Chains A and B, each alone.
Chain A
């Protein structure tokens, strides 16, 4: 009997360039994953929303399907853009005021132990109050003007800046301050040349929170007292039961929020290029 040797199947290797191509495609997919995955998820949710709402015949007043929202968005876009202007301007204004005031107060707190002991515990406590509840007070004090809303939004977004800046100024490396002292640097010099740059990451993280808080503050102000702005427009659409329009306004608001936050993050990136630790 002759032994039968198993014959190894012939493996046909794909041409080398195809392997390379496949690997490259795979790697590109991996790189794009952080973009593709959330986008796909969002698309899936929208699709499910559309299907469920249509299948269950949910009234459009309760929950309009995405397609209708898109349609409405296109119809009322000019009005939305018109109302987006005051909302955006007031938010930016409140953000800058809150940042300037917050950093200023943090400097005073850092250099005056008296002011720190006097204010800081109260600031931290105040942080815990739902400040939104104070919005009607601002109407009582400052009326229903745009300034009143900017003041309220400033008030809301000011706390994260102070607190993170105080922490940033305090967390400076002791050895760096000792170096300044040994070089007979003045307080001002040590602040500008060392303490402030060291605190920049903390200050920016406070400012990023402040930016989102400022938009929230302005919208709430507009809910209470305004004749223009996206907050006003949402309330108006709500009174007319135009749910799809509300969603369209929310979408525009979302874009504004992302753009403003992105601008602060971009500024942070630019500053870090010259003052980054790495």
Chain B
């Protein structure tokens, strides 16, 4: 691997996404976003709902095409989904007729890898997330948090280099969510993947990530790239520290600025319209 590629393992360069549907006005979901992620780094993309952060993640995962710009991973431009990427979606997306264990092994079947050499791995992962007693339960017998744990195992079982997570815990209650965050950090430390995590929770982003990218709605772009100074492993208790809360406060301000700008521009637009009419 060439020098610098470790630093720019994921490279997103002036990426733009515009949705056009029929005669309706084109919608710019992402406008000119650029950032890089070093190998082994955990980066969170933080922003309000509807700011295009999920679209951005899907483009990095090769599930959505870019309208303009370029995404490269490991030096290779993205053209479609890759097996070196594991994705966690907002909902667990488990197959309802398969047990937890078989759901974890689903990628291995799709990728036609030898099942025998992944069985132990799958079992260990499930034990690791505390589901040893639930391996042969079907999804409808599991709680929401348990289902997301199965989804984590499924994303890790085929050993991808990059883990993409699209608000994976947003549907869970606050207590379960904290548990899942701790568990995710634990797993991430053990498996050291490069991770890109999309969330609208400021505290979640600060607790998990090495770097937080703040995205705003209009324009749908990154306005802040903040390095989080906390060492790892991070205990849950750092959430009470002054520094943690100061960082959260700072990020909240940046997000709010985005809101004001948006409102401001709407206000100006309405003024302009009035002038035209008047």
Contacts and interface: CB of A to CB of B under 8 A. Distances in A.
Size band of the interface chain B makes with A: 20 to 34
A184 B97 contact: no
Interface string B77-111: 00011110101010101011100000000110111
Contacts of B106: 183, 193
Contacts of B109: 193
Nearest to B155: A182
Interface of A: prevailing SS: helix
B109 to A, nearest CB: 7
A268 B63 CA distance: 35
Among B85, B96, B111, the most chain A Cβ lie within 10 Å of the Cβ of B96
Contacts of B258: none
Contacts of B110: 180, 183-185, 189, 193
B140 interface: yes
A274 B96 CA distance: 11
A172 to B, nearest CB: 11
A180 B111 CA distance: 10
Contacts of B63: 178, 181-182
Contact of B87 (A182, A193, A277): A182
B87 A197 contact: no
B97 A197 contact: yes
B119 interface: no
A276 interface: yes
B111 A184 contact: yes
A197 B95 contact: yes
A264 B216 CA distance: 56
A122 interface: no
Contact of B61 (A173, A182, A193, A194): A182
A82 B61 CA distance: 65
Contacts of A189: 110
Q: Which of B63, B89, B95 has its CB near the most chain A CB atoms (within 10 A)?
A: B95
B138 interface: yes
Given A182-B63, A184-B82, A175 B107 contact: no
Contacts of A277: 96-97, 140
Contact of A181 (B81, B96, B111, B138): B81
Contacts of B97: 197, 274-277
Contacts of B82: 184
Contacts of B138: 278
Residue among B61, B80, B91, B110 with the highest chain A CB neighbour number at 10 A: B110
Contacts of B80: 184
Contacts of B107: 183
A278 B99 CA distance: 11
Interface in A164-222: 173, 175-176, 178-185, 189, 193-194, 197
A272 to B, nearest CB: 9
A200 to B, nearest CB: 9
Contacts of A179: 87, 89, 93
A197 B61 CA distance: 26
Contacts of A173: 93
Nearest to A278: B140
26 contacts: A173-B93, A175-B89, A176-B93, A178-B93, A179-B87, A179-B93, A181-B63, A181-B81, A182-B61, A182-B62, A182-B63, A182-B85, A182-B87, A183-B110, A184-B81, A184-B83, A184-B110, A185-B110, A189-B110, A193-B95, A193-B109, A193-B110, A277-B96, A277-B97, A278-B96, A278-B140
**A-B residue pairs, 7 tightest by C-beta:** A277-B96, A175-B93, A183-B110, A275-B97, A185-B110, A182-B87, A179-B93
Given A175-B91, A183-B81, A183-B111, 20 more contacts: A175-B89, A176-B93, A178-B89, A179-B89, A180-B110, A181-B81, A182-B62, A183-B106, A183-B110, A184-B80, A184-B83, A185-B110, A193-B95, A193-B106, A194-B95, A197-B97, A274-B97, A276-B97, A277-B97, A278-B138
